[in-house]
Amino acid sequence: MGIGSNLLDAMIELRKQPRQDRSRAKVDGILAAAADLCSGRGLDALTTNAVAARAGVSIGSLYQYFPGKAALLAALIRAERANLLEAVERIVSSDAAQSLTHLVDELIEATVAHYLARPSLSRTLNLARSQLPPDPEAAEFSTRITVLIAARLNQLKISRPETTAQDVLAILRGMIDAASEAHEADRAALTDRTRRAVLGYLQAA
Amino acid sequence: MGIGSNLLDAMIELRKQPRQDRSRAKVDGILAAAADLCSGRGLDALTTNAVAARAGVSIGSLYQYFPGKAALLAALIRAERANLLEAVERIVSSDAAQSLTHLVDELIEATVAHYLARPSLSRTLNLARSQLPPDPEAAEFSTRITVLIAARLNQLKISRPETTAQDVLAILRGMIDAASEAHEADRAALTDRTRRAVLGYLQAA
DNA sequence: GTCTATACATAGATAGAC
DNA sequence: GTCTATCTATGTATAGAC
């Protein structure tokens, strides 16, 4: 997974690794602007011109750091994935994950928090991803998160841990997504219902 | 919900109701072409030029029937919704829906068939919808399908039938979507797992 | 390193001939 | 009714001045 590992990377990787603080801040500003636009008015609003304008830099500067629009999107997606993966890593390596109900509770809390932190950004990136060509990074992310959870499920004697982990994630995504689309406000109620759904599924298995 | 009921309709409704067979066939051809393009290469491929070309009509003819790209998309979405709604109507008004497990089985079968009939079309339209401005038709569709299912759940003494119906649909969508994205081939296995998830959820409630 | 100006491509939409 | 030709707008990306 090193930089330059495939041709697509040319379209996607940063042009330069910003080592200085000023550059780092500029890159962050550009990404923040991109996230805002995605979140606010969807994928169509993510134009290089609009991002540059909102970030307060010129289009030329943007292209110094990002080789194109795809690179912006890739960076956003990558950040989002890293977030969720970190959260799951913390959970599975914590003591709270010793019992099934605790594990589930923690996963739900993290997942709900993740997807509802910036719901529309999350959904927009999601659908962007589904329009992109099959991406090895996406596959690796799925695998890693599944494996982390599956390992715990396995210790807890849940059968077919990989499939089960995938299903649990799918159920959570489906329910949280629906709630987010419906602008459902009551997060506690959502957490409670997802809990019933996941535990119900695990017990029925 | 009559034609012309809101301003958006101007962008979305057919320009003329094709009464003659020839016109009807042309409209169908255009929609089929649009569906193919959506299905094949996603939303970006749905351009008015491309649709016209693939349908074998000129761009001018296309604009005679559809006032724009949005109208094409709206028509596709409408057709997709009508399909699913019909299927659910058939189920809830059939005898098989008398027991909970039968109801669930029928719903799963219909939902899986619906979303996997043309998976990538289904997903593309889905995300198109989520990018569109809030649409009264979408809301009405959600309400109707929820109400249909909730009525049955209510007869079966399930508590909070509306919320439960929404959750069941969300669970199904989530799992089917994940399977479809992962290009999971085994439909029987998917059906089985969704069944466990849904029944597990209903029993935990 | 950063900006302005601009080239280039493509999409949406219409006008007008037939 | 249908087509071709074309206009307009917009987005990506680069060149070149500073």
Q: Does residue B65 sit in the same domain as residue B84? A: no
State, as a whole number of angstroms, the distance between the CA of A204 and the C1' of C3.
63
pLDDT digits (tens, 9 = 90+) for B38-84: 999 999 999 999 999 999 999 999 999 999 999 999 999 999 999 99
Q: Does residue A41 sit in the same domain as residue A92? A: no
What average pLDDT is seen over chain B? 92
* DSSP state letter for B157: T
* CATH number assigned to the domain comprising residue A129: 1.10.357.10
> With b meaning 16 or more CB within 10 Å and e meaning fewer, what string describes A26-57?
bbeebbebbbbbbbeebbebbebebbbebbeb
Which pLDDT belongs to residue A20? Answer: 76
Which is nearest to B80 in space by CA: B9, B128, B150? B128
Residue pair A176/A192 in contact (Cβ under 8 Å)? The answer is no
Q: Does residue B105 sit in the same domain as residue B197? A: yes
pLDDT digits (tens, 9 = 90+) for B120-148: 999 999 888 888 888 899 999 999 999 99
B167 touches chain A (CB under 8 A): yes
In a domain, B4, yes or no: no
Q: Does residue B105 sit in the same domain as residue B182? A: yes
Helices (H) and strands (E) in chain B — how many of each? 10, 0
A60 touches strand D (CB under 7 A): yes
The residue from B21, B47, B69 where one domain ends is: B69
Instruction: State the total domains in chain A.
Output: 2
Angstroms from B92 CA to nearest CA on chain A: 22
Residue A134 binned pLDDT confidence (cut-offs 50, 70, 90): confident
Which pLDDT belongs to residue B7? Answer: 54
The residue from B28, B46, B69 where one domain ends is: B69
Q: Does residue A87 sit in the same domain as residue A56? A: no
Instruction: List the single range of A91-100, A160-169, B166-175 with lowest mean pLDDT.
Output: A91-100
Sign of the C-alpha dihedral, residues A56, A59, A60, A64?
Answer: positive
Q: Does residue B147 sit in the same domain as residue B90? A: yes
Residue pair A52/A44 in contact (Cβ under 8 Å)? The answer is no
In a domain, A178, yes or no: yes
Q: Does residue A90 sit in the same domain as residue A43? A: no
Q: Does residue B89 sit in the same domain as residue B131? A: yes
Q: Does residue A192 sit in the same domain as residue A96? A: yes
Could you give the 3-state DSSP secondary structure of residue B1?
A: coil
Among A125, A129, A135, A167, pick the best mutation site for testing chain B contact (most B Cβ within 10 A). A167
pLDDT at B93 over 50: yes
B47 lies in which domain range?
Answer: 9-69
Q: Does residue A81 sit in the same domain as residue A34? A: no
Does pTM surpass 0.85? yes
A20 touches strand C (CB under 7 A): yes
In a domain, A173, yes or no: yes
Could you give the 3-state DSSP secondary structure of residue B76?
A: helix
Q: Does residue B123 sit in the same domain as residue B64? A: no
